[in-house]
Structure 1
Amino acid sequence: MKKILLPVSALALLAGCTWVKLDDAGSRVRVAYDGRVGGCERVGEVSVSVKDRVGLYERNGLKVKDELETLARNEAAGMPADTLVAKGEPHNGAQAFDAYRCGAGPRGAARENPPPAPPARGGEAETFPVR
């Protein structure tokens, strides 16, 4: 029994690990979850895949989706694209994305110089951006 428990435990631990790392160029590519890419130029398509099963063990769907997005961002940076839109949900560990060049500049630029807040009116809450 102990001979079986060790390999099964190791397999379960490895299946939960994230092997895909976001590189510097990929960190400048955003994913437009809402699909809004008006004014952007489509530069191509990115198709990526990862293992969604390890043996008989099915990997966590959220981890698989996260790794697919990370791979796509890394790949899109070389096109060059700065925005991705998923063409659909992941299926069997694979997903396709449309790649766009929107000229948004480096990620976070908009957060460094946020637009001025509208004047507060009496009785309303005032919000401030978190840095």
Structure 2
Amino acid sequence: MKRMLSIVLLTTLSACTWVKMDEGAGQIRVAEGSDLSACENKGTVTASVRSKVGFYERKDMKVEEELETMARNSAVEAGADTIQALSEIADGEQKFGMYRCR
């Protein structure tokens, strides 16, 4: 019974989004393979979330969404309007560039 409860709890938690989007972050553009040379570089940010909860591996898509949300939140604070992934996701971390293009 305890084991079943643990499994249900972990499954429920894995579906939760722990990172909330800040005001204005929804307006941040995510550039994929774009030429950003005409944009002002506003710096980089390394976003980090849990990729595991106990022994349970979180879904890659959920981790990716949360990392992007964290990068968008940071971009708002930096005065950027565009982000671009600069690295692959590794152990729940990903590096993003922040740019002002508009």
Query: What runs of 5+ residues in structure 2 fail to find an aligned partner?
Result: none
Q: Distance in 1 between matches of 2:71 and 2:19?
A: 11
- Total equivalences in the alignment: 102
Structure with the largest fraction of helix: 2
Task: Report % sequence identity.
Answer: 44
Partner of residue 17, structure 2: 18
**TM-score, normalised with respect to structure 2:** 0.93
Matches within 5 A, 1:16-55: 16-55=15-54
Q: Distance in 2 between matches of 1:24 and 1:40?
A: 23
Letter in 2 for 1:77: V
Matches within 5 A, 1:49-88: 49-88=48-87
**TM-score, normalised with respect to structure 1:** 0.74
Letter in 2 for 1:16: A
Partner of residue 89, structure 1: 88
Query: What runs of 5+ residues in structure 1 fail to find an aligned partner?
Result: 104-131
Tell me which moved more, 73-82 or 8-17.
Answer: 8-17
